[in-house]
Structure 1
């Protein structure tokens, strides 16, 4: 399966608590809900398109808790977001969660690289990560994310958890898509290409 990441970022790289003040106040973060003023039809269409390609979901513990407290209450199977989230397999790497009531959830208690590597080797389409910044960062350090959809919102916060921290595996990506929503969210899609290549802009010496 291809592992894809869809995540919301500020222009200074913060992913923490995009949807509301209570999502993640860790570290005294006071800016929760920074993405919500920018939701529009363009944003919604993109997210529906992404979710429609999912065959399974890989979610961090905090994101899983947030999703599980909301989406099961939307019971219309035709809903383009709730339908896939409620029915498709959901995998949650965790050292603390011992049970999960949300339908079709499997908890992963083993080594992250081994557990996710095994899922990645299965036949199928997209194993999607949504949000789950700590999990995404760990998988970037392991080189296990194949596709990234980065939704960059026109706001800078100067504080908060950042996706690309020191220790991310040096990786080259190819830009495969870009668009801008009516409210200024820049959506860029990247495919993993392997190790970076390097060069120099210095002028060659004249002989």
Structure 2
């Protein structure tokens, strides 16, 4: 049975929108190691359509010389949750169809290892609501934007998670790792 491991870059006010705001902060070796720890245990990548359409052209031409993460993104089997995308052309990619809780449970049960997700806000929100996220890795940047797409927008039902790890980096970014919460 697979474990779903979500990775998000976020601001201190919870914005996860296209993270161009991260450019002012050097991606440190410690951050690279932490992200490598998350991806190193993953044997599949699960993405929403929008993130897939951003990642495919960005990663497909990168090599390990360009970015140490390129082999993971290019060689690992990728699965896209989408009701509109008919085919996925990026190496080792396939479309699972629209979001369905039971289909995702079956997919998760069929994966031996971790299932990495990055971005994919709509998908991640649904997975959290359905109790399917095993690890939530938030890289919190020391900036507030005031507006933008949030992982937990206003009106989201109460969500409880358990802090299972934290790490601070030299550039002011903090990694917070959460697991499933306890029932109220």
Q: TM-score, normalised by structure 1?
A: 0.80
User: How large is the RMSD of aligned CA atoms in angstroms?
Assistant: 2.0
* Paired residues of 2:60 and 2:90 also in contact (CA < 8 A): yes
Whose radius of gyration is greater, 1 or 2? 1
Task: Tell me the equivalent position of 2:156.
Answer: 167
Q: Tell me: higher relative CO, structure 1 or 2? Use CA pairs within 8 A at least 6 residues apart.
A: 2
Q: For residue 114 of structure 1, report the CA deviation from its aligned partner.
A: 2.1
8 Å CA contact 2:140–2:173 kept in 1: the answer is yes
Give the Å deviation of 1:129: 0.7
Tell me how far 1:138 sits from its aligned partner: 1.7
Q: How many angstroms does 1:37 deviate by?
A: 1.4
Maintained 8 Å contact 1:51/1:80: no
Please identify, of 39-48 and 137-146, the stretch whose mean Cα deviation from structure 2 is larger.
39-48
- Unmatched runs of 5 consecutive residues or more in structure 2: none
Counterpart for residue 137 of structure 2 = 149
Counterpart in the other structure of 2:107: 119
Determine the structure 1 residue equivalent to 2:12. 11
Aligned: 1:95 with 2:83: yes
CA positional deviation for 1:49: 2.2
Q: Equivalents in 2 of 1:193, 1:121: separation in Å?
A: 21
Structure 2 counterpart of 1:36: 23
- Asked if structure 2 preserves the Cα contact closer than 8 Å seen for 1:3 and 1:129, the reply is yes
1:73 aligns with 2:74: no
Give TM-score, length-normalised by structure 2. 0.89
Q: Deviation of residue 75 (structure 1)?
A: 3.9
Asked if the contact 1:149/1:190 (under 8 Å) is kept, the reply is yes
User: What number of residue pairs does the alignment pair up?
Assistant: 181
SS of alignment partner, residue 97 of structure 1: coil
